[in-house]
Structure 1
Amino acid sequence: MGGETFGERLRRLRGDMSLREAARRANVGKSYIADLENGRRRPSRTIAAALDKALRAGGELVAVMPTSPALLRPDSGRAEEINDVLSRMRRRNRSVDPVIIDHLRDELDDVMLRYEQLDHSCLVPSLLRQRLWTDTLIDECSNPRGRERLFGIASGTSGMLGYLAVGRGQFPLARAYCAEAFQLGDFAQDANLQAWARGLQSFCEYYARNYSEALRLAVDGLGYASAGPQSVRLTINCVARALGKLGDVEGVHRAVDEAYELMSHNAAPMGLPSSISFDCYGLTQVASNAATAYVSLGMPQKVQQYVRLALPTISESNSPWSRSLVMIDHAVSLVSSKEADPGHISDLALDALNISAGRPIVSIQQRAMELMCKATQRWGDSSRFSDIRHAVTSREVQR
């Protein structure tokens, strides 16, 4: 071993560790390590020391590094090699072509815009590929602005994967993705993105039936949102609905009013925009979420008031899930009315389930089962409501 070159010893010490992992630990490019091992580059003392630490080599690499001209640092008199300076410049200069970053962002935006119409089971593979590629580019990029943009794209992609995992009922996986989305939003230094991620975390806990935690995450998210576009979504989709499940009537009234007030200060879109957009919720989404909050409180008149506001636009949309959900909320509200017709309610619920048949998600299953419970409490078991139970249980959530 005494006659080994620097590159030979580096290769031996690296052993089974991948170039990528060694490069990550030493904060250099993997191609740089490959060049050192093949003798195409001369190592600097700084790089040799970093590799010694990364590989736990105890100074072996510094001991065998070749000599090279040195540059004296006047502040300390310590010799710093020219390669040290040039290596730092190279590491700081590593960047990713902005065209590639723009493409990744366009791909993410396109998925978000078309989310309501796309088959969710087809989205996961492409999102996973994009997420892994973005991580690779982050490792290769030293440019601060480029890294922030890549962190933002990675945050959005992880958030989308978390949102889809909630729909499949995979709550532990969803929590991990949504927490990662929040962390990456922090790395991107984007408060709106962090607010968006908190909304996803709250959404996950809501359908996992952890309503107090859903409320806590939503309130924390509002601190990042300020009065910006995500404040509307956090207030109506997260705070109001969690308070509804917790039985806080005054809290729901207040949250609904605040959501409309916040929407008036933001550029609320027309029609039915994506439910997972980085932008503001629209009027239809605020109304439909208000209806859901009042369903939980057992206030049928309030539910029907907001269903009437939301249903026309949702009925014209291409989102099968939104149409199913608002129809089920309407059916639940009718159960509490004095002149409720169980046959009509059953037909309405079955129509709602048929709209999204073949593409079931947890939110639809949970609300349909809540309808079943309320109907059974009022009228007892019947063949009509058994049909609803069969329709729900026979359609497994896509995983």
Structure 2
Amino acid sequence: MPVHDSNFGRELRRRRESAGLSQRQLGEELANLAWDHLNVRVGVDGNLVSRWERGVALPRPPYPELLSRLFQATVEDLGLRPGLPPQPTTGRTDDVGLFESTMMIVDRMRRAGSSNVSDTTLDRLERMTVDMVSEYERLGPLVLAPRLIEQRQWVERLFDDRQTLRQRARLHRIAGRLSGLLGSLAVDRGALSTARAYCDEAYQLADLADDDELRAWVRATQALTEYYAGEYADCLSLAMSGLEYSRGGAQQARLLVQGQARAAGKIGDLHMVKAAIERAQGLARPNPPGTVSPCLALDGYCQARIDGNAATALLSAGDLTGSRRAAFAALGPFDAAEMTGPRSLTRIDIALTYLSEDDPDRAADLVVEALSISASRPIATVAIRTGQFLDAGRRFLSTPAMRDLAELAADQQNPAHPALPGG
């Protein structure tokens, strides 16, 4: 017979059946949640769920929390009162056998504090990840990808053993950064399906770490992926989602100019482009002279980064004067820092403004410079933008400068990584 108020039992059964779960399956879901979110093993099964639904027993911690997570409801919504459930009167006067032994509790405490990774090791992994971000543009995909993959696989093996909850959250953050970096490298190589998969994994890890700034960082890379796929509405949506997570954090400027402004430029919304750029300008982070913040900056964008992305966004929206002004402002710092990708892409942006003013020779010379700068480290985005330049200048292909450029671009084309649609 039921010994507890049956409101909870009825509500639990209703929610379980609405979710299409058997009592056994509900037990398995709770056990999985306990391991994923609390890093503990629990012994819930279909029999225990049946006892709850019949009112024979009420769930003790951690089950109320797990049920709330599973059904996205408060304990009150489930018909439970906060705190421990009342116990039936049994007439028992001693507690022998009622509780676990002291040694079992002590052993569980020991295992909860055990870990296969030290805090010092996690510190080093985090430092290595920051260094990878800093070296991203200098080393490029062919050098960096194998290193990142090796590090990501090593981190993954650590998850197979035990860590404290705090250490496991740090591991999730480290793994999320590494997967996000691999996603960005895949964009550089034009492998957008692979980039999406890596970024989805990175976002899942950000969720597991419950880290909004990491979510925002991943959203920025996802937005860039869709930008180069020509999916500008998706790019804008992902950038706006990232801004919700960043809420004034380090990723806000990147999301505004690389995501929102560039997507808005492609859909022709000049007002949104300028508003996003203006907001980003106020968020520029100081950078030492002769350096530029990484394109995947963890600490925010410097002024040169904002200017470089603003140039691309304004160009797409048709503001040639504003685009050229921003591009030249970015070009000096990019050249001083010897950044291959930004130096090439900014020259192509400037070239497109000259092309729009019917100055193909001057424009073609700049694109030749861009291709020469990136010749030793081909970048898919440079190839994409060169193709777009040639398409835009098709009416000038009879000029010697444009013909020479077309031949150079054909010579440098990597057949394994053709130019992507959009830009």
The TM-score, its normalising length taken from structure 2, stands at 0.72
Q: Which residue of 1 aligns with 2:405?
A: 388
List aligned pairs for 1:1-399, cutoff 5 A.
80=100, 85=105, 88-95=108-115, 96-263=117-284, 267-270=285-288, 271-337=291-357, 340-376=358-394, 378-393=395-410, 394-396=412-414
Structure 1 alignment gaps of length 5 or more: 1-23, 29-45, 51-71
Contact in 1 for aligned 2:261/2:277 (Cα 8 Å): yes
Choose 356-365 or 209-218, whichever is displaced more: 356-365
The residue type paired with residue 125 of structure 1 is P
Deviation at 1:380, TM superposition (A): 4.9
**Distance in 2 between residues matched to 1:287 and 1:303, nearest whole Å:** 9
- Relative distance call for 1:26 and 1:194 in structure 2 (3 A) is closer
**Distance in 2 between residues matched to 1:98 and 1:288, nearest whole Å:** 39
The residue type paired with residue 113 of structure 1 is S
CA deviations over 1:263-284 (Å, ceiling 9, x no partner):
3xxx433431111121110000
**Distance in 1 between residues matched to 2:272 and 2:95, nearest whole Å:** 63
SS of the residue corresponding to residue 292 of structure 2 reads: coil
CA deviations over 1:316-364 (Å, ceiling 9, x no partner):
1221111001001110011112xx4322221211111110013222211
Contact in 2 for aligned 1:269/1:280 (Cα 8 Å): no
Choose 283-292 or 379-388, whichever is displaced more: 379-388
Contact in 2 for aligned 1:218/1:234 (Cα 8 Å): yes
Deviation at 1:385, TM superposition (A): 2.3
The TM-score, its normalising length taken from structure 1, stands at 0.76
**Distance in 2 between residues matched to 1:232 and 1:344, nearest whole Å:** 32
Q: Which residue of 2 aligns with 1:5?
A: none
Deviation at 1:85, TM superposition (A): 3.7
**Distance in 2 between residues matched to 1:129 and 1:250, nearest whole Å:** 45
The residue type paired with residue 156 of structure 1 is R
**Distance in 1 between residues matched to 2:271 and 2:216, nearest whole Å:** 24
CA RMSD of aligned residues (A): 3.1
**Distance in 2 between residues matched to 1:209 and 1:142, nearest whole Å:** 42
The residue type paired with residue 390 of structure 1 is E
**Distance in 2 between residues matched to 1:260 and 1:383, nearest whole Å:** 40
Structure 2 alignment gaps of length 5 or more: 1-31, 45-91, 418-423
CA deviations over 1:228-283 (Å, ceiling 9, x no partner):
110000001110001111111111111111111233xxx43343111112111000
- Of all paired residues, the percent bearing the same amino acid is 35
Q: How many residues align?
A: 335
The residue type paired with residue 360 of structure 1 is P
**Distance in 2 between residues matched to 1:362 and 1:176, nearest whole Å:** 18
SS of the residue corresponding to residue 140 of structure 1 reads: coil
- Relative distance call for 1:221 and 1:85 in structure 2 (3 A) is same
**Distance in 1 between residues matched to 2:134 and 2:114, nearest whole Å:** 32
CA deviations over 1:269-320 (Å, ceiling 9, x no partner):
3431111121110000101110001121232211111112111111112211
